[in-house]
Every structure is written in C-alpha cells, then in structure tokens.
Amino acid sequence: MKGRLILPFSVVLLLRVVWGCPEVCLCHRSTKTVDCNNQGLVEIPSNVPPETQKLYLQNNNIQVINNSAFGNTPWLTVIDLSNNSISSLSANTFLRLHFLQTLNLTNNLIHFLENKLFNTVQNLTELDLSSNNIVNLPESLGDNTGHLSLLAVKHNQLQRIDRVLLDSLSNLKIFLFKDNPWQCSCQATGLKLWLESFLYRGGIIDEIVCFTPENLKGKNLLKIPYELYEGCPPKTAHLHLSNTQHRTLELQNNGKHGHHTEPGGRNFSDCELKSKPRTASLRHAVATVIITGVICGIVSLMMLAAAVYGCAYATMTARYQRELKDVEHLGPAIEQGSPEEKELLDGSLA
C-alpha cells in the first residue's frame, strides 16, 4: 500500500523537477497553465516553466513586478494579476511578451501608467485596469495596440480621456468606464463625439456619469444636449475634433501637454458651461409657437370660407328646387285654362 502511494508522489516530484513548477503553484502541462492563485506570494515566482501560456497570480500580495519577472516566459498569452498590491508598472515589464493577449490588473493600487507602456505587446486584445487609483491615462498605450478589443477602466479616479488615445484604438469593441469622477465641462465635447461615433459603429459601453460641473452632476454625458456646449470657446471644439497629427502640432506650438491656452493664460479645457444656450432654446420655442399659431389661423379661415360657401350653395339650391316645384304644380292648370288666362299667366311668369 505504501509503495502505491509513494509512486504517484514520486512522479509529481519528478514532473516538478523536470518542468520546473513553482512549489506553491499548480502546473498543468497539457494546457501549459500555471495556477498560483491565493498563495500569499509577494513576488512573481522565478521558476515558472518557459513553455507556460497562462499564468494565474490573482489574490496574492505582490507589490512590485521586476523587469525580469516574465523574461523566461515569452509564450504567455494570459496573465491574471488581479487582487494584489501593485502600485506601479515599469516600461520594461512586458518587454518580451509579444504573444500576450489578455492582461488582468483589476483591484490593485496603480495610480500612473507610463506612455506607450505596452509598446512591445503586439497582440493584446483585452486589458482590464478596473478598480485602481488611476488619475490619468497616457496619450498612447503603445504603437501596437490596434488589436485591443476590450478596455476596462471602471472604478478609478479618471476625469478625462485624451482623444488621441481613443482614436488610436481602432478595433475597440467594448469600453467600460463607469464610476469615475468625470468632468463634463467644455473639454468633454471630444469624448462625447467619440462615444457617439463608437456606438454608431456597434461598440458596447456602460454609462459615463458626470461628476462636475455641479449643474451636470449625476447626468449621463451622452444625454446632455449639445445646446449646453454652444457657449464653449470655438477653439476648444476645434481642438477635440481635430485629428491626431493636428493635435500633436498644436501641443508642440503651445509647449504644453494636453491643454490649449489663449494669450491671456486661460485654459479652455477647464471652462465652465454657460447658461446662454438656454435663452436660445426659449427663443426657438417661442418662434415655434408663433409659427404654429399662424398656420392654425390660416387653416381656420379656410375652413370658415368653405363653410360659408357651402351654406350659400345649399340656400341657392333649395330656392331653385322650390321654384321648380311651383312651375311643375301650375303646369296642368295652365293647360286647362282659357287662352286669356294662359296669356296672363305666361306674362306673370315672364
């Protein structure tokens, strides 16, 4: 009996030695999966088998990802680092992961992402950054993020998203961003236009609820009428509607990243929405009422004229019928009377 138990145990140990499976992890060679879930790890194991394609490291206490953490596992397609304590990511963290498709970083402490962080990741399709402390997304996630189909940034501290970043995600299908303190003043026009275009192309989103300004707090950005943005400076709208090259040129001329200022130093992106467009809406409403009243008056006059004409026609017709009946009634009497009476009657009828 002891021999039967020792044999399988020896096989497991042999596999661990040959394939290099970390002691606290479960390795599935057939699926090339390594599961290190909920093992109290403070760093990524260094002896993960090189052939591994799926690596699960969720529910641990990993705080830092070394630049060499994935250096020996270039075939990874799935990495799950959710529910850890990661606060930052280095530009070289994903340097050799050319085949990475899914990256889950939810529920960490990340507050900053370097520009072009995933520049060497050529096949990334799903990126989940939800439930972190991210205040601002970079202008670009990388030059090779055109395959990205799902981006989730829910439950962060985002107030805005650069239009240049959105335009670079050409194959995005799902965009999730709820529960952020979104700023819906003038600078949000670019995001609003992009979201409408994204929905028109069949994209899937959740609600983007405004946090500021106060008069728009709690409202869905997509349901805010464009009239409220008519009071924004024209340069702001031009900035958001311009293409990437034009935006880059403006940034170089201004010497600032992501803002456009006028000579007096005022920042257009932080302007508040004005209440003037509401007056314009009132004028439109009054004009509509006046035009409707005029049309109704004309229609009423036409109906009155038709009624008068109908009454007159009916009266004339009735009078003609009565005279015709009188003539038919007197016809036999005329035929029976004397020649003098016929002549007198004919004269009276004439």
Reported as a single tens digit per residue, the pLDDT across 309-320 is: 888 878 887 777
pLDDT (mean) for 129-141: 93
For the chain, what is the total number of helices (H) and then of strands (E)? 7, 11
Tens digits of per-residue pLDDT, 96-107?
899 999 999 999
Residue 334 has pLDDT above 70, yes or no: no
- What pLDDT was estimated at residue 48? 94
- What pLDDT was estimated at residue 19? 55
Residue 57 has pLDDT above 90, yes or no: yes
- What pLDDT was estimated at residue 317? 79
Of residues 86 and 287, more confidently modeled: 86
SS3 content of the chain, % helix, strand, coil (to 5): 40, 10, 50
Q: Which of 59-68, 115-124, 313-322 has the lowest mean pLDDT?
A: 313-322
298-308 residues labelled b (16+ CB within 10 A) or e (exposed): eeeeeeeeeee
This prediction's pTM: 0.64
Q: Which of 81-90, 216-225, 269-278 has the lowest mean pLDDT?
A: 269-278
Let me know: does 108 contact 87? Beta carbons within 8 Å.
yes
206-221 residues labelled b (16+ CB within 10 A) or e (exposed): eebbbeeeeebeeeeb
Separation CA 105–CA 264 (nearest Å): 42
The distance in angstroms from the start CA to the end CA of the chain is: 143
- The CA-atom distances, in angstroms, between 70 and each of 18, 74, 95 are 20, 7, 8
The model's confidence at residue 91, banded by pLDDT at 50, 70 and 90, is confident
pLDDT (mean) for 329-334: 56
- What pLDDT was estimated at residue 66? 85
CB-based burial label for 19 (10 Å; 0-12, 13-18, 19+): middle
